[in-house]
Amino acid sequence: MDDQNKNLILATVLSLVVILGWFLIFPPEEQAPSPEIDEVSTAPTENLGPGTASDAVPGSALEQAAPVAQEAPRVTIETPELAGSLSLRGGRIDDLSLVDYNETLDPQSPLVRLLSPVGTDTPYYAVWGWAPVGAAAGPLPGPDTVWTLESGETLTPENPVTLSWDNGEGLIFRRTVSVDNKFMFDVEQTVENTTDAAVTLAPYGFVARHGEPDTQGFFILHEGVVRMSDGTLEEIDYDDMPDLEPDARGAGRVDVAEVAGNGWTGFTDKYWMTTLIPEPGTPFRSVVRYSDNSEIYQTDAVLPAIEVAPGATATSGTQLFAGAKEWEAIRSYQNEGGIDGFVDSIDWGWFFFLTKPIFMLLHFLNGVIGNMGWAIVALTVILKAIVFPLAYRSYVSMARMKELQPEMEKLKEQAGDDRQKMQQGMMKLYKENKVNPASGCLPILLQIPIFFSLYKVIFVTIELRHAEWFGWIRDLSAPDPSSILNLFGLLPFDAPDPTSFLAIISLGILPILLGISMWLQQKLNPAPADPTQKMVFAWMPWVFMFMLGNFASGLVLYWITNNTITFIQQYAIMRSHGAKPDVFGNIKSGFKRKPKTAEAKPANANGKPRK
């Protein structure tokens, strides 16, 4: 086997090992059922040190529980992106649906629901309040306090609402909630002290989620807590939260981070996120909590305590992002709103140095072209142009290797069985002709990080969710829905369910085109004479076809485009070096049967063949 073919097979095997190993070593996790949670909590009252955040989090949903949710008046929320309501019980934002996102491709399917109140199957909400430091002047508002709507009727971008609550002992609390045109709420908490003594209180906010949500459970995707603490991003999966250290006071399991000036904390799903954001420059204590008993997941932002003098009013502000992880919106909140590192709430993965620029270029191309499928095609062309100088050297070196074949055959005849002499002769030949035998690996190896990065982009970014190309491809983040088993819709039955065994052989049009594009690329050269090489080359396109058959159609589209461009480049370079690839001849030879050799008949005693 010559070095050119040896390196090509090695590169192919490495590609297969990486792709297969990824899924075999790190298979998707089994989905655990979400437990039924029917508990709602009240706020504990814990002592705080003056001017500091509490060691334990006030207002925790983990501490005390009531058996059922209590009804309370609601305030409607209407924005271009959000629909729902907030409850006057606790002033909770606990009912939000995303106007522009349906659960399925069917436009009549339900809207994606992000937040849900206690009493539903999956309670998920945000709460704010105050905790005492030292002696408090009477009761303080918590998660179950019933507020009064002081001003405003419907919460819209143009019309904020103000809630109020009087504790009856000289403290009057107000909460003004406003919202922008996208997904950001501003919550301003004030306390007016009408007593004749100063009081010290600590403002806080928390996001609580009852029961583990129905997650993707795929190892390359983070779902759970995401928080930024002074430039340090931290991610904690839902299934890792039960392993946190137990709180010394028995308040569940906790993980605490002190934030000096800039940070945020919340929960992220694949496409959606709910995040508490103290005002930039404000120190706070970021706490992650989990309750073994009630199975409540919680993130808290506890701000420094404030001393309120008699007759004075104190104010504390917090933001809440609750919506889709749209890159443009999140980047705007980071760049214009001063939210440090907010773009990193999108799970860019280990290859972030590739996934970020690849996504930004894809997003730009989609904005220019207006179609994400054609944007992927354009992206592939640009990526191939960027790596072309390296690929060109590789293709030229491969072409020169072809030119050296006659001399290599002479070396084999001269060396005979002396492998050392053969290797020395070949290395001398390569050096004299300035040929790098390892260059054949380069085009394939270059594909691996780009392939993984683009896979990550297509898998995690919401811009690819339900993005159409044309015809039957209505979601580039999902596998090709067509199936060869029903002749791509011509037969009167549906394609197999993606979870069934038949889905493995239920190839769509795009995976089949992928296999054909790889097969044609092989036909630029005659089939190897070595039987082992010939078998590997013959099976490789169809193995890749089945391997990538259930990948996102956007990724398969990229691979088809990449193969097509590679074919054109190799063909042109080979022609420029005097070679004339006989593609059709190589295809025909692949279908020809090898002629049978006549079997030698045993000789008789005289040495002549028997009749």
Residue 51, pLDDT score = 38
Pick the more confident residue, 43 or 102: 102
Alpha-carbon span 262 to 331, nearest angstrom: 16
What backbone torsions phi and psi does residue 447 show, to the nearest 5 degrees?
-70, -25
Tell me the CB-side half-sphere exposure of residue 159, using CA atoms within 13 A.
Answer: 11
Q: Dig out the tokens for 150 from the structure.
A: 């002081």
pTM above 0.85?
no
- Residue 200: closest CA among 43, 55, 53, 301: 53
- Judge contact between 561 and 381, C-beta under 8 A: yes
Question: Count of CB atoms within 10 A of residue 331's CB?
Answer: 14
What DSSP line would sit under 81-134, residue for residue? SEEEEEETBTTEEEEEEEEEEESSSSTTSPEEEEEB-BTBSS-EEEEEEEEEES
Integer-rounded Cα Rg, in Å, for the chain is 33
Among 65-74, 122-131, 457-466, 467-476, the minimum mean pLDDT is found in 65-74
Alpha-carbon span 38 to 119, nearest angstrom: 6
Residue 392, pLDDT score = 75
Return the bridge partners of 161, or none: 177
Mean pLDDT of the chain: 81
Alpha-carbon span 177 to 278, nearest angstrom: 14
Return the bridge partners of 175, or none: 163, 189
What DSSP line would sit under 465-478, residue for residue? TT---STT---TTS
Strand, helix or coil for residue 237: strand
- The residue with tokens 């992927």 is 376
Residues 6+ apart with CB under 8 A from 401: 2, 3, 4, 435, 437, 440
Residue 438, pLDDT score = 61
Residue 1, pLDDT score = 44
Residue 17, pLDDT score = 55
Residues 6+ apart with CB under 8 A from 435: 397, 400, 401, 404, 429
Residue 498, pLDDT score = 66
Alpha-carbon span 330 to 326, nearest angstrom: 6
Alpha-carbon span 244 to 253, nearest angstrom: 5
Alpha-carbon span 132 to 282, nearest angstrom: 19
Return the bridge partners of 118, or none: 120
What backbone torsions phi and psi does residue 555 show, to the nearest 5 degrees?
-70, -40
Amino acid at 238: Y
Residue 117, pLDDT score = 95
- The residue with tokens 């179950």 is 144
Residue 44, pLDDT score = 33
Whether the predicted pLDDT of 352 surpasses 70: yes
Residues 6+ apart with CB under 8 A from 585: none
Q: Each residue of 2-40: pLDDT tens digit?
A: 444 444 454 455 555 555 554 444 443 333 322 222 222
Amino acid at 114: L
Amino acid at 148: T
Amino acid at 484: I
Residue 442, pLDDT score = 64
Provide the pLDDT confidence category of residue 548 given band limits of 50, 70 and 90: confident
Pick the more confident residue, 589 or 119: 119
Q: Which long-range contacts (CB under 8 A, 24 or more apart) does 587-595 make?
A: 587/523, 589/526, 589/527, 590/523, 590/527, 590/538
306: left (phi over 0), alpha (psi -120 to 50) or beta: beta
- The residue with tokens 């630029």 is 524
